[in-house]
Structure 1
Amino acid sequence: MDIQHLRYLTVIWQAGSITQAAKKLYMSQPNLSRAVKEIEQETGFPIFRRTPHGAVPTRKGLLLLNYAQKILSQMDEMESLYKPARGDVLPLQVCVPPAPGFLLGFRECLEKMPQSGPFSVSFLEASGLETISHVSEGAYPIGILRYPQSCREYFENALEDANLAWEPLWEFDMCLIFSTEHPLASQSEVPCRLLNGYTEIICGDFDTPSENRDCRRKIYTNSWESQSYLLHHVPGTYLWGAPLPGVSLSRYGIVWKPCPDKKILCWDILIHPKNLGLAGWEREFLTAMKKYCIFPLS
């Protein structure tokens, strides 16, 4: 049992149910239930009774929860000795893949911050392996990874090796993204054969395996602003990405189209150190970001 497990238990106690606690922790309910089961196997006794009215602590569970609260309180006091007060400097540091939803969510989060007083934020667009490195080394407290199904085992092994925790945010089938001026922008869907002769913008740790791709026409970049600029200023460019909500499409003058003959299932996941929970402004960022992603997991 570690500090993160104690945080899970206290949030369940405060929320009154595993379902509500999972929402507060930005976890899926099955993952949180599995974590509780593992803790109960370790302690040798049930911590909560599942009732129609929610999760109720058992007698031994209540004793454990009281100890957990004391330990977490002492941890917070200890961290205050070497960390700046969160309420004073509003620290927010996130490392994400290059995509408009993350950038727009970060902007909205900034707009909610007080207009006066100390300010400390950092927003970094990076590849998946770079994000794992930054979070495992402590440079960033949270990160978001995006990867296709074919790379799932690879990234999960990398996260295990880095001793990082992860939770799913959403899943989606990749689509094609064009500027509104692209010759294919008016199509309802775009099969791979129509991509012949056009230039693909590639970012991240992997090449999307589209069929009939002209290997002489690739542009590698790793920031959303550069991708957006290229889509509008280099004729015939496109990229593979997540389906985007209307607010992102109108903001950047782009469209997304499904590809009927190439289904590429992808995941976005949240990663963080196993012994570190989310701070207030990190939760605000995740909340703000949700409206820019159209396939959230319930």
Structure 2
Amino acid sequence: MRIEQLQHIIEINNKKSISEAAKTFFMGQPQLSHSVKNLEDELGYKIFRRNRAGLIPTCLGQEVISMAREITNSIEVLKSLAGGEANLTGNFSLILAPGVFNSFAGLLISRFHEKYPNVNLVLTEDIGIGLVDKVSTGACLMGVTVWTSNYDETMRKLLDEMDIAYEKIMQDDMCLIIGSNHPLAAKETISLAELEGMTIVDYRGRYRNSLRHCGIDTTKSELLIVSNREVMKAIIAKNQAVAVFPRCFFYNDQFFEQGLLKYCALEKITDQIKMEMYLIYSKTESLSHSAKQLKKILIDTIVDNCN
């Protein structure tokens, strides 16, 4: 029995699939299947069985996986005490909302691997309930999701019902993003009336309800729904549209650094609605030592670069 085999069955249990778990370890499905079979042969019983949902642990398999988590976590702590954090090993999957991914993924990977070079960190992105579902089902260890403050109570209730823990990372202003040469660009605050008749870019349709909630009559403005942030920024930079967006989603952005885009306060929106950013993870599984370190680096990376 090897530590790697314990890590293998933990990840298979998380992903409910050998093929998906194999991607985490950068190995082929046959190789991972062989590892599990060898462990089952050594133990003398099956760890997993298959149903419509995928691979699920047997009764004995559940006990093995629970013990495997305790063993791997204890080994992480021992390595940390004996040889420093750089000796920690493991595989972590983290899922980020698109704006968070674009602004912070590169910096997060750099910081994490500088401190934990032997830990494999896999970052993906998703949006809305898809992101929450991946954390709930164990497909990802942790996630960073965002919503506007008018949905805060609803989202907290949903996460509680799904046994998902949540920690607020930060709150940020919702502002009007506008081209630097736009006729309104010289103003510090723009009124809702001034948006009438303008084309408003709505990223993936996420902010339409927020606009209406704050009194923007969307029937008097054209809504352009886009799913690509770079396209959105190019449209705004050409003064063909404006958008309402959190400021932090454009951290280290070339359009802003080159002076093609700017932020303006937007009447009512900036004061009344905020962007809420939360770290989420399952309540049913305790975080390992190195997972807690990942959580700390993640929060520090975002907070440090938004202050």
TM-score bracket for this pair, using the shorter chain length: 0.5 to 0.7
TM-score under structure 2 length normalisation:
0.58
Alignment of 1:43-192 (within 5 A): 75-78=69-72, 91-99=91-99, 102-112=101-111, 113=113, 120-192=120-192
Query: 1:271-296 CA deviation, whole Å, 9 max, x = no partner?
Result: 111133334334323222223324xx
- Does residue 237 of the first structure (1) align with residue 245 of the second (2)? no
Instruction: Report the residue type matching 1:213 in the other structure.
Output: T
Counterpart CA distance in 2 for 1:214 and 1:172 is 27
Aligned length: 218
Residues 231 and 118 (structure 1), Cα distance of their counterparts in 2 relative to 1, 3 Å cut: farther
Equivalence for 1:269: 278
Q: Structure 1 pair 223/246, CA: closer, same or farther in 2 (3 Å)?
A: closer
Q: SS of the residue aligned with 1:209?
A: helix
Name the CA shift for 1:133/1:193 in 2 (closer, same or farther; >3 Å). Answer: same
Name whichever of 116-125 and 216-225 sits farther off: 116-125
Distance of 1:184 and 1:123 partners within structure 2: 38
Q: Which amino acid aligns with 1:266?
A: M
Secondary structure in 1 matching 2:94: strand
- Preserved CA contact (<8 Å) 2:170 2:277: yes
Residue 165 of structure 1: how far off its partner (Å)? 0.4
**Which residue does 1:199 correspond to in 2?**
199
Q: CA 1:153–1:281 in structure 2 vs 1: closer, same or farther (change >3 Å)?
A: closer
What RMSD in Å do the two structures reach over aligned CA positions?
Answer: 3.6
CA distance in 2, matches of 1:265, 1:103: 20
SS, match of residue 280 in structure 1: helix
Q: Normalising by structure 1, what TM-score?
A: 0.60
Q: Which amino acid aligns with 1:287?
A: D
Give the alignment partner of residue 226 of structure 2, picking from 204, 221, 230: 221
**In 1: Cα distance, 2:247 partner to 2:220 partner:** 25
Contact (CA 8 Å) 2:90, 2:119: kept in 1 or not?
yes
- Conserved in 2, the CA contact under 8 Å of 1:125 and 1:222? no
Distance 1:236 1:89 in 2: 49
Structure number with the bigger relative contact order (C-alpha 8 A, sep ≥ 6) is: 1
What stretches of structure 1 of length at least 5 have no aligned partner? 1-71
For the pair shown, the structure with the greater C-alpha radius of gyration is 2
Q: For residues 209 and 115 of structure 1, do their structure 2 counterparts lie closer, same or farther at Cα, with a shift above 3 Å needed?
A: closer
Query: What residue number does 1:31 align with?
Result: none
Structure 1 residues 268 and 218: CA distance shift in structure 2, 3 A: same
Alpha-carbon offset, residue 253 of structure 1 = 4.1
Q: Quick one: which of 252, 258, 263 aligns to 1:256?
A: 263
Q: For residues 243 and 258 of structure 2, what CA distance do their matches in structure 1 show?
A: 17
Q: Report how far residue 164 of structure 1 moved.
A: 0.2
Kept in 1: contact 2:95–2:143 (CA 8 A): yes
Aligned to 1:183, the other structure's residue is in SS state coil
CA distance in 2, matches of 1:93, 1:222: 24
Task: Supply the distance in 1 between the matched residues of 2:72 and 2:90 (Cα, whole angstroms).
Answer: 19
Secondary structure (helix, strand or coil) at the match of 1:131 reads: helix
Cα distance in 2, alignment partners of residues 203 and 166 from structure 1: 24
Name the structure 2 match of 1:9: none
**Which segments of 5 or more consecutive residues in structure 2 lack a partner in the other structure?**
1-65, 80-85
Superposed counterparts of 1:12-27, under 5 Å: none
Quick check: 1:98–1:222 contact (8 Å CA) kept in 2? no
CA distance in 2, matches of 1:158, 1:269: 13
